[in-house]
Structure 1
């Protein structure tokens, strides 16, 4: 998403912090993914950003949805999304949520343990289950290899157990890690998934679905492979390793790659101070109010209004709360003349920002506006001020 005159004008007139969302970017990302992976079915990961403008845009495009809770299911149902277009991808589900999902028409459930199989068998008899593989995610910005998934041999046992419990072993899923920089990670994952398909086929269990998860990166401060490059690797790998599977369904669960580039966060400097030899800059947004991912040093592009070409120096950038965890970057190059009330933008922050935001310290999280809402606001109440900017 480009830092437009509209956003710059809004940042001068509106209270910060706020996040601007552009659904035209979501549409572009949707079709790029659709056109990059052969016959792919898109199940948008609602957790990335559940703002109504995004969900409604994807609904109208015909997208399906990956959900993680009863709350997300209800949110989609409330805007008219059919439950046959939802997949319950969280491997750690409450039994009452499983029951609710099944009774309302959700058919697909993720598993990576025997106990989860038992919970689904009790509450969603006959459901289709897909097992999640654990993958190395050392080439990603936000690894997911520790908490979710299991090895191929264990997954085979789990899916066989699911069949004995009256469920339908339906497929294999994986996640190469969020914001993955290595396009060949998908090849590695598909090869491992194919081993599960082949071994179960020999035992007369024929899986039908390959779930590619997410992981496609968004451009921030490092070079990243394009969705087209990743799609080419996926298509080649599916054909090479799973071309023998009749009627194979290929599913993608984009989150960050669908909405990350659709947002820009605007904030202001509240304080500049010196602590020993280090210069600190404090903003009105921090890790508790929209920038949670920076605690793992997730690097956004940072732009200071009007000082894009200034000489820089290394500083510490932090949020406004009374908690030392609220440090955005221990070291970041910022304009040497950055000062009180300067506007600071975080580029491509459409994913995992407003979703993570809290009211910690009684401070309001980022407000969210769509581009269309800003246009209307600047036409009306703020039109006179806009003309003077």
Structure 2
């Protein structure tokens, strides 16, 4: 039924097209609020910054994790109050810090002395939280984030002390277990490490009250995943055991908020044979929404109308004049897959259109909004 609807939408609007279901996003938001005690949701705008998604979450009461001046400007234009934004990027231009501060934002992430100094100079007396790295979790996440972001526990303690010396207000610690993380226990390990920083801060006379658990909750691609409720239960128990039940728990969902709300439809524009390999090329590729395929993200893919056909191995590539533009070198597709077939990539609501470019002059996928899981006519085209 869903594929029939997607086929109709592709015919009406052309491909590539990303179809988003706002009702799924609403359900995801409410599930997190319900299952994590004393929580506050800061949606990671970078996952999908479409205004319809931002307006929905605004109206549901969500807060927002922002990474740049343009993201702040977009939220302000939608009437989101500055106290509902956290500048969670640990690599900020000084001018962006000034802009954020002048517009009322008072919450900033750091993982280095220089970042603290920039904030102290340009956003005096602001709240800061220190991001720690999550070493040893790389093998448990499809998209690890350890090396570029965060710092050690020992260094974080020094940063808390330095922040206080600079006149800033250290309110807590953040971490990220890696995007698309499959092991709930990793949240426990990270929260236990956070507790060491809380204890040392208290010895320095600094009472912190917030633990930012970042993102990392997975959506279903090709692997089995733990239930969101299971991860939430680990977070709840670990906060009580290691920090204290009155702790404010911040969540920064991105993929887990919008990933399973989207399905991308792309057309086959060429099939060819190269030696023993069957190649299929589509009108969306690495540069037009499917960037994450070059790491470890394995979307579930179907060919509309050929779901029950026997399959064989293909190389699946995009349309551009760049050899990097290959999504999968070994993917099982129906044997008869050919020109004008429609491929559906499920759970593509996050980090697809945000990564898109217009490389080679090829347009990125358009976004439309549709209730995919009920029989209703399409409500909006954007």
**Structure 2: segments with no counterpart, 5+ residues:** none
Q: 1:65 & 1:377 partners in 2: Cα distance?
A: 24
Q: 1:248 & 1:278 partners in 2: Cα distance?
A: 55
Residue 375 of structure 1 and its aligned partner are, at CA, apart by 1.4
Q: Deviations over 1:185-242 (max 9, x none)?
A: 0000000000100111111111111000000000111110111000111111001001
SS at match of 1:355: helix
Q: 1:320 & 1:112 partners in 2: Cα distance?
A: 40
SS at match of 2:58: helix
Q: Deviations over 1:149-208 (max 9, x none)?
A: 000000110111111111011100000000000010000000000010011111111111
- Relative to structure 1, the CA distance from residue 235 to residue 103 in structure 2 (aligned partners, 3 Å threshold; closer, same or farther) is same
- Check the 8 A contact 1:354/1:365 in 2, yes or no: yes
Match of 1:169 in 2: 170
Q: 1:44 & 1:343 partners in 2: Cα distance?
A: 32
Match of 1:101 in 2: 100
SS at match of 2:315: strand
Q: 1:292 & 1:3 partners in 2: Cα distance?
A: 25
Q: 1:301 & 1:12 partners in 2: Cα distance?
A: 22
- Check the 8 A contact 1:10/1:374 in 2, yes or no: no
Q: 2:120 & 2:293 partners in 1: Cα distance?
A: 39
Q: 1:4 & 1:200 partners in 2: Cα distance?
A: 54
Residue 9 in structure 1 maps to residue 8 in structure 2: yes
SS at match of 1:339: coil
SS at match of 1:375: coil
Match of 1:204 in 2: 205
Match of 2:338 in 1: 339
- Relative to structure 1, the CA distance from residue 233 to residue 376 in structure 2 (aligned partners, 3 Å threshold; closer, same or farther) is closer
Match of 1:312 in 2: 311
Residue 262 of structure 1 and its aligned partner are, at CA, apart by 0.8
- Check the 8 A contact 1:297/1:329 in 2, yes or no: no
- Relative to structure 1, the CA distance from residue 200 to residue 67 in structure 2 (aligned partners, 3 Å threshold; closer, same or farther) is same
Match of 1:326 in 2: 325
SS at match of 1:129: strand
**Structure 1: segments with no counterpart, 5+ residues:** 379-389
- Check the 8 A contact 1:194/1:241 in 2, yes or no: yes
Q: 1:131 & 1:165 partners in 2: Cα distance?
A: 14
Q: Larger deviation: 220-229 or 5-14? A: 5-14
Match of 1:375 in 2: 378
- Normalised TM-score (structure 1): 0.94
Match of 1:387 in 2: none
Q: Deviations over 1:2-27 (max 9, x none)?
A: 83532221123331000011110000
Residue 189 in structure 1 maps to residue 190 in structure 2: yes
Residue 376 of structure 1 and its aligned partner are, at CA, apart by 4.8
Match of 1:73 in 2: 72
- Check the 8 A contact 1:6/1:374 in 2, yes or no: no
Residue 144 in structure 1 maps to residue 145 in structure 2: yes
- Relative to structure 1, the CA distance from residue 377 to residue 47 in structure 2 (aligned partners, 3 Å threshold; closer, same or farther) is closer
Pairing of 1:168-317 with structure 2 (within 5 A): 168-243=169-244, 247-317=246-316
SS at match of 1:146: coil
- Check the 8 A contact 1:6/1:375 in 2, yes or no: no
Residue 352 of structure 1 and its aligned partner are, at CA, apart by 0.3
> What value does the CA root-mean-square deviation take over the aligned residues?
1.4
- Normalised TM-score (structure 2): 0.96
- Check the 8 A contact 2:369/2:380 in 1, yes or no: no
Count of equivalent residues? 375
Q: 2:328 & 2:377 partners in 1: Cα distance?
A: 29
Q: 2:151 & 2:129 partners in 1: Cα distance?
A: 12
